[in-house]
Amino acid sequence: MGDLDLLGYVEPIGAYEQVVKGADRVSTPFGEIFVISLDDLIRIKRHVGRPKDLLALQQLEAIKQIRNEKRS
């Protein structure tokens, strides 16, 4: 179905307790789960700065722009 990352600590945000504060709740057939917010994911990708993260950052910024336009 796709990749799933389970991390105990995420730079530059911190441990699970910090990440979950900004997380989005998503309903699945298996129950509700917390998913890292788009803004936090953008922040992480920008901080890490590897070529693959910078490529993903462009895509994430485009998704954010589309979401913002739909809300307006």
Return the domain boundaries, the chain: 9-71
Whole-number pLDDT of residue 36: 94
Q: Tell me the mean pLDDT in the region 45-66.
A: 96
Instruction: Enter the pTM of the model.
Output: 0.84
Whole-number pLDDT of residue 7: 84
The Cα angle at residue 52 between residues 44 and 42, in degrees rounded to 5: 25
CB neighbour list of residue 67: distance below 8 Å, 6 or more residues apart: 38
Whole-number pLDDT of residue 39: 97
Whole-number pLDDT of residue 3: 86
Q: CA–CA separation, 45 vs 12, rounded Å?
A: 10
DSSP result, 29-53: TTEEEEE--HHHHHHHHHHH--HHH
